């Protein structure tokens, strides 16, 4: 084998080694991208869970406030009716005295 042939063979092997290294780097880059994508998906899922939890909490709080307001409205209605009865009594007593 001549020197030129050996040089050509070495060049072919060097090119093959460079191609293998490039492919390995691409594989590593793809693996890193997949890992990063998985991290982003996990963060997105956690954010979505937090938002869903927040929404549920707000709905529960709204229901509590609505129930409290309904109770207070009921109490207010009872108080107004009692006041109406007292006013009616006073008006009735006043009419009897004046009549």
Q: What is the mean pLDDT of residues 17-32?
A: 95
Polymer length of the chain? 99
Confidence of residue 3 (pLDDT cuts 50, 70, 90): confident
Residue 2's φ and ψ, nearest 5 degrees, are -90, 165
Provide the pLDDT for residue 63: 98
């Amino acid at each position: 084998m001549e020197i030129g042939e050996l040089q050509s063979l070495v060049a072919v092997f060097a090119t093959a080694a460079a191609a293998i290294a490039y492919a390995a780097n691409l594989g590593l880059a793809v693996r890193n991208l997949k890992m990063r994508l998985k991290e982003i998906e996990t963060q997105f899922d956690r954010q979505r869970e937090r938002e869903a939890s927040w929404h549920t909490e707000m709905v529960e709080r709204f229901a509590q406030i609505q129930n409290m307001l309904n109770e207070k409205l009921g109490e207010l209605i009872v108080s107004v009716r009692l006041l109406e009865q007292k006013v009616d009594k006073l008006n009735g007593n006043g009419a009897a005295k004046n009549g």
